[in-house]
Amino acid sequence: MKWIVGLGNPGTQYEDTRHNVGFMALDLLAERWNVKTWQSKFKGLVGEANVSGSKVVLIKPMTYMNLSGESLRAFMDFHKADLLDLLVIYDDLDTELGKIRLRYQGSPGGHNGIKSIIQHTGTQVFNRIRIGISRPAPGKNIADYVLSNFGKSEAEGLQQSLQQTVLAAEDFLMEPFEKTMAKYNK
């Protein structure tokens, strides 16, 4: 079983914000894989799909970003899930809008959702897709920026990065992550 976690914040007020691109990516995957039902469990919303004969679980933590690790830990403990089968999708200030970066380990880089996952799993080693949201203009508050909606001029870049994320997530299911990284980290 593979499991894909998209990070974001619950509630309609956060729905279209930069910090919720992980949820946006999971929604696209759910649509593509015909996931019709999301169940509330493991402190999140959980959907299941069958992709090319393999079970894939999609998880949106409903704990708010800074507590995302609680949802992962609850799922891991119940299913005895392996971190090698995990893919986490989240926003990244240091990656340009319209781009994605894949990594299999590393520090949280100031991202509170990743910090929580590392705290609750005890490791920095897990597969990740970082969706670029670019940095705000100098002097702009980071928290306000990540909780702001994308502008109309950013729509094309957002869609480009989300589509790349969907394709990379599908490749993650079929091939070693190192190969997927080499394909998308350009």
Sequence-ordered strand ranges (E) for the chain: 2-6, 39-41, 44-51, 54-61, 86-92, 100-105, 125-132
Residue 111 is a catalytic residue: no
Amino acid occupying residue 87 = L
29 burial (CB, 10 Å; 0-12 / 13-18 / 19+) is buried
Question: How far apart, in whole angstroms, are the C-alpha atoms of residue 135 and residue 171?
Answer: 28
Sheet-wide strand order for 100-105: 39-41, 44-51, 54-61, 2-6, 86-92, 125-132, 100-105
142 burial (CB, 10 Å; 0-12 / 13-18 / 19+) is exposed
Q: Which residues are annotated as a binding site for tRNA?
A: 14, 64, 66, 112
Question: Nearest CA to 148 among 20, 25, 6, 18?
Answer: 18
Q: Which residues are annotated as a binding site?
A: 14, 64, 66, 112
Active site residues: 19
